Amino acid sequence: MAITGQGTSAGSDAAGAAAPPPQDLVNCTINGVAVSVPKGTRIIEAAEAAGIGIPYYCYHPGLSAPAMCRMCLVEIEGAPKLQPACVTVVGEGQSILTESAKARAAREGNLEFYLLNHPLDCPICDKAGECKLQDYTHAEGRKHGRVVEPKRVLNQDDFGGDVLYEGDRCIMCTRCVRFMREIAGNDALCVVQRGNRSVIDTFFDEGLDGDLWAGNIIDICPVGALLSKDFLHKARAWDLDRSPSICPNCSQGCNVYVDSRDNLIMRLRPRPNPEVNSYWMCEEGRLEYEWYNRANVPTGTIGMADTIGGGPNPTGRCERPMVRDAQGRLQAATWHDAVVALVQRLGGLRGENGVLAVASPAHANEDVALLHRLAQVLGGGDAVFRVRTAPSEVVCPGFPKLARRRELAANGRGLRAVGFRRVGDDAGAGGLDELTTAGKIILVLGDALADVPETFGADAALFVYLGSEPGPAVRNADFILPVTNFVEQEGTFTNFEGRVQRFWPALEPPPLARPAWQVLGVVLAGLDDGPAPADAASAFLRAAELYEAFGGLSYEVIGGRGALLNEPVQLGAGAAEGA
């Protein structure tokens, strides 16, 4: 079994791609399975390539390996002692045994040692269900402990930021210490004391407060020693639904998992992608998720949607199509009636009025591409978006590809690729008052228009709003169409470097909300501009037909790790959906 790279290029067959350069391979057997890996590969990585799992605590593929937890000891035939798989390089012709009597006995002894002082508080530990000590003990630990002495007790420590430390549970793997030194570039943690009193600690009053990358130590802790204050006692790990997605909070496009329960986001965690964010993400992206939940949690007050629709809706979200009748009143309508009426109105105005299209950079490529196409079909005009920007970028010292980017939205590059231009200030406001609305067709997607005057769009020939959280100016809209946000649909974002990446739905939308690409596709079909796409993949293919930047791309080409706009991209073995 060989570990090989796989290349692909948008607009060209994989068979026509240049072959990767030859590598020096080393042949060995692991538990009787023949394995061929590049020279210099460590045993733990070779075993993973062969589908053989080796237990470990201190090893992490994104960090240095100190070989101190002794859980990955394996037997190499001919070697006098067991060897740590995390640092031992595979040798030609080696026969490696991970399940021999010696290796299993070593792991059992290590687990008993770790449990000498580890508290048996799994029922109240946030890590229960994700804990490697729990998993390994269940798989091959002793049935009963032999120690009768009382366990040592250490205090909980607040490291600052989002991090709590439970010293009783710590197994001294030092992943957190190495991460802060090697990736965060901040020697904020160290091991203090010795023997069974060893703990991780900060330096005096200098904790992790203000460190943009410190939250990653919670993800990589193999037990419940490091906890998130934000997630503390929120949910059990086995109650969470996990969906692969993209962080929407800046243009880096970090790959993440969205963990949800009861249709609410509980937390965001990084999803490995060596081309974008490795195994990490920043604190601002990690903790800035409550805005996804706003539309699903009753606010206790009457929202703007109530003012518009005249009915009870404690979330303030657009939940049903609204159409302005002949008397000038907004009335609830079915989707069929709303779309038929919209197509008739647009058909009568087609080519006679200029168009102002305003899109949010939090919407998918599929959505904004079809919005721009609709504006073109209606005669063309201004296509703009607004986005917040930070004063500067913050680069991750240990992985410079990763940074907190200036543009604080996921899809500004995608909007530019289809023809939108940015307006407004660094707060993501303004810019629309400079554009003429009188007599125009106004198409707004996702922008709540919260900062514009309440008279915005009142002088338009037709005002169409597609969104979920309307501002006061949306009262002037002739059509209000409820659409899903990105955590409720499938789609793609384009990050700052032009990498198109997929995301999958994590929440259930309101019953009458529809993806914007679906609504716009049906409207375009009604205007005789091609068939309506049946799914998100078809909507993306339509965008690829219409806009050269996406030409040759498809969901199959993008895979789980993304593809550059019309540029080659190296895809690894984990590029399957959701990898």
Which pLDDT does position 296 carry in this prediction?
Answer: 61
Q: Which pair of structure tokens corresponds to residue 266?
A: 């509980």
Q: Which pair of structure tokens corresponds to residue 93?
A: 């012709």
Question: In the chain, which segments carry CATH 3.10.20.740?
Answer: 31-114
d(CA 59, CA 41) in angstroms, rounded, equals: 14
d(CA 478, CA 284) in angstroms, rounded, equals: 37
Backbone dihedral angles phi then psi of residue 564, each to the nearest 5 degrees: -75, 150
Question: What residues are paired with 559 via a beta bridge?
Answer: none
Look up residue 326 and give its amino acid.
A
Which pLDDT does position 195 carry in this prediction?
Answer: 84
d(CA 265, CA 285) in angstroms, rounded, equals: 13
d(CA 456, CA 477) in angstroms, rounded, equals: 9
d(CA 71, CA 55) in angstroms, rounded, equals: 6
Q: CA nearest 127: which of 242, 233, 230?
A: 233
241-246 vs 255-261, strand pairing mode:
antiparallel
441-445 vs 462-467, strand pairing mode:
parallel
* Chain position carrying tokens 């009963």: 144
Which pLDDT does position 145 carry in this prediction?
Answer: 85
Question: What residues are paired with 467 via a beta bridge?
Answer: 482
pLDDT along the chain (579 residues), means of 10: 40 45 84 95 96 96 95 95 96 96 96 93 94 95 89 91 95 96 96 89 88 97 97 95 97 97 95 97 94 61 44 66 93 96 95 92 98 96 96 96 97 97 96 92 95 93 93 93 95 97 95 96 96 97 96 95 75 45
CA count, 13 A, side-chain hemisphere, 534: 0
Question: What residues are paired with 191 via a beta bridge?
Answer: 200
Got the DSSP string for 411-439? -HHHHHHHT-EE-S-TBS---STTS--TT
Which pLDDT does position 17 carry in this prediction?
Answer: 47
Count of Cβ atoms closer than 10 Å to residue 153 Cβ: 9
d(CA 104, CA 334) in angstroms, rounded, equals: 64
Which pLDDT does position 10 carry in this prediction?
Answer: 42
Look up residue 266 and give its amino acid.
M
Q: Does domain 31-114 have CATH number 3.10.20.740?
A: yes
d(CA 410, CA 426) in angstroms, rounded, equals: 15
CA distances from 378 to 345, 346, 442 (A): 11, 7, 11
CA distances from 450 to 81, 236, 293, 453, 515 (A): 69, 37, 19, 8, 22
Which pLDDT does position 351 carry in this prediction?
Answer: 85
pTM: 0.89
Which pLDDT does position 136 carry in this prediction?
Answer: 96
Q: Tens digits of per-residue pLDDT, 322-343? A: 999 999 899 999 999 999 999 9
CATH class entry, domain 120-134+141-239? alpha beta
Q: Tens digits of per-residue pLDDT, 14-36? A: 444 455 555 789 999 999 999 99
At the topology level of CATH, where does 320-577 sit?
A: Rossmann fold (3.40.50)
- The per-residue b/e assignment along 286-298, b for 16 or more CB within 10 angstroms, e otherwise, is bbbbeebbebbee
d(CA 287, CA 290) in angstroms, rounded, equals: 8
